[in-house]
Amino acid sequence: MLWSLARRIAGWLARRGYIHNNFVTFATGYEPPVSYAAEGACFPRRTARRIAIQDNEAPFKHIDKGIDQHKLVFKKATELMKAIVLSPVPVIAKVNGFATAAGCQLVATCDMIVCSDTSKFSTPGANFGIFCSTPGIAVGRSVPKSQAMYMLLTGEPLTAQQAYESGLVTKVVPANQLDEEVNKIVEKIKLKSRSVIGLGKQFYYKQIELGIFDAYKLGEEIMVKNINADDGQEGIRSFVEKRKANWSHT
């Protein structure tokens, strides 16, 4: 499954030191929950050191190997982001710390973000000579342009409240309420049909890249498909009969 792929890729990156493995928790609306890691900061660890040339006597000796390694790392990171978006399962980022650079990219890619009131978010690459190009892809699709450019050009972090006000974050709660808040969201999602949630998530990401008229055209097709699906029909019946729906998840 795609969420399993996301966990494996995240583990690959963490084992090689490109992200901390104690940065963010992935949770889903279904049993069993997707839980990758615990609380803490999320940021690249070795990128700058790996980019630096190690051998002063032969400054170009390792450049091919280095470039190949850099390409592999960014490819794996992109695969992780794609797996989150393409997964039919909702992915929630639970953040309690500093999400920066690739860490900020990771949480911005998730479907929802719940963070503690002391968390911060930044894309500080320009401060170190490496612009946060790939993190800016996710951040730029989550916040208004001027806010994204502020983060990318200044490297200054957003507080949890600023991230919430800009639309980057879904909920801000005290750190001791993080688990409770995420569980509330998970429990609400679990009441829905898995097939309907998967269909809706897939459609959302497709339509957001389309022009408005093409989006409506695709939306018409999806609505017809949804209404005529087993769970679409069950939802209508349960509403008319004033009872709890019995989902088949098909």
Pick the more confident residue, 54 or 239: 239
Is the pLDDT at 49 greater than 60, yes or no?
no
Q: What is the structure's pLDDT at 6? A: 56
- The rounded mean pLDDT for the chain is 81
- pLDDT, mean of residues 201-218: 96
Is the pLDDT at 206 greater than 80, yes or no?
yes
Q: Could you tell me the two tokens for 95? A: 């953040």
Is the pLDDT at 15 greater than 90, yes or no?
no
Q: Which amino acid is at 131?
A: F
Q: Round to whole Å and give the CA distance between 164 and 143.
A: 10
Q: Shortest CA distance to 177 belongs to which of 45, 39, 42?
A: 39
Q: What is the structure's pLDDT at 93? A: 92
Q: What is the structure's pLDDT at 2? A: 47
Q: Round to whole Å and give the CA distance between 195 and 28.
A: 14
Question: 155: pLDDT confidence band, cut at 50, 70 and 90?
Answer: very high
Phi, psi for residue 142 in degrees, rounded to 5:
-115, -25
Q: What is the structure's pLDDT at 63? A: 44
Question: Is the pTM here over 0.85, yes or no?
Answer: no
- pLDDT, mean of residues 13-38: 45
In terms of DSSP bridges, do strands 24-27 and 92-95 run parallel, antiparallel, or are they unpaired? antiparallel
